[in-house]
A and B are shown apart, each in its own frame.
Chain A
């Protein structure tokens, strides 16, 4: 069972969380001005890296907060989590 550190509640079991996909995908300010290709890029294209991946998670059975997490897709380890709107800490909780 993975433990995920909610930036508000601390370590909780993964069963309390929902996954939200890749983090940092800003919604374009003026969708109408985008080409189909540009819009499709926002809509569909995701990084899917092998290694560290920045993601959004939701503490669904707890404080209901969405937050950012960095996870190693090889080991599943969460290296750090941080609140929306804040910068991630420069050090990782665990090495990836």
Chain B
């Protein structure tokens, strides 16, 4: 089995008819959205006080799991805190057999991992008005004083649940959403972003 298998991420139909909305074709829109539909996602469950578990994860991913609520760690992969015993490990691209190796690594512990790679997609937001857009649908205060690089929150955006990850300086945010809610969220962004100017890649 290889990555040569025919994959379709869930926003391909959306991408086909999306364009820049709300600002002139020449001007750079105040919000830019790119879809990343082929990352790998592992849902990880375990006791953070269990050294066997945390060591196993660290030796595999090369980084510690974040134990502080609503934070993430990132290097080769991004590990988002989802709950006191739950994390989402996100690898930037697919690699055959990686999950099986990861899973095996955890075999000797009480921790478990589930491959949910096909269940999520990432909408990468950037631009001056990216936070303004999120503020239209999210009740959380994403101001610098409370949301910084290394933070991630699970919350609602408009009418869907999503994870907002802050992994780079400047106006860059990753919105991780379940596959079947992604089109709704993208359409919502197209509507809600129009007043600022929004472009999709």
Interface residues of A (CB under 8 A from B): 1, 8-10, 12-13, 15-16, 61-65
Label chain B's interface by main secondary structure. strand
| Chain B, interface residues (CB within 8 Å), range | 10 to 19
Contacts of A65 in B (CB 8 A): 83-84
| CB <8 Å contact, B139 and A62 | no
- Which B residues, 132 to 186, have Cβ-Cβ distances below 8 Å to chain A? 139-140, 153-156, 161
Cα-based distance from A18 to B153 in the complex (angstroms): 18
Question: B92 CB to closest chain A CB, in angstroms?
Answer: 25
Question: A13 contacts B86, CB within 8 Å?
Answer: no
The CA of A61 and the CA of B164, in the complex, are separated in Å by: 12
- Interchain CA distance A85-B175 in the complex, whole Å: 33
Within the complex, which residue of B83, B139, B155 is in contact with A8, where a contact is CB–CB below 8 Å? Answer: B83
A13 smallest CB distance to B (angstroms) = 4
User: Are the C-beta atoms of B84 and A63 separated by less than 8 Å?
Assistant: yes
Point out residues on B near A: beta carbons under 8 Å: 69-70, 82-84, 86, 139-140, 153-156, 161
- How many A-B contacts if CB must be within 8 Å? 39
Contact A15 B139 (CB under 8 A): yes
Closest to B141 in A: A11
23 residue pairs from A and B, CB less than 8 Å apart:
A8-B69, A8-B83, A8-B84, A9-B153, A12-B139, A12-B140, A13-B139, A13-B156, A15-B139, A16-B139, A16-B155, A16-B156, A61-B154, A61-B155, A61-B161, A62-B153, A62-B155, A63-B69, A63-B83, A63-B84, A63-B154, A64-B83, A64-B86
* Chain A residues whose C-beta falls within 8 Å of the C-beta of B86 in the assembled complex: 63-64
Q: Tell me the smallest distance from the CB of A88 to a CB of chain B, in Å.
A: 18
**A12 to B154 Cα, complex, angstroms:** 11
Chain B residues with Cβ below 8 Å from A15 are: 139, 156
Residues of A within 8 A of B153 (CB): 9, 62
Chain A residues lying within 8 Å of B69, measured Cβ to Cβ, are: 8-10, 63
Nearest-Cβ distance from residue B102 to partner chain A, whole angstroms: 22
Cα A65 to Cα B69 in complex, Å, equals 12
Q: Which residues in A have their C-beta under 8 angstroms from that of B154?
A: 9, 61-63
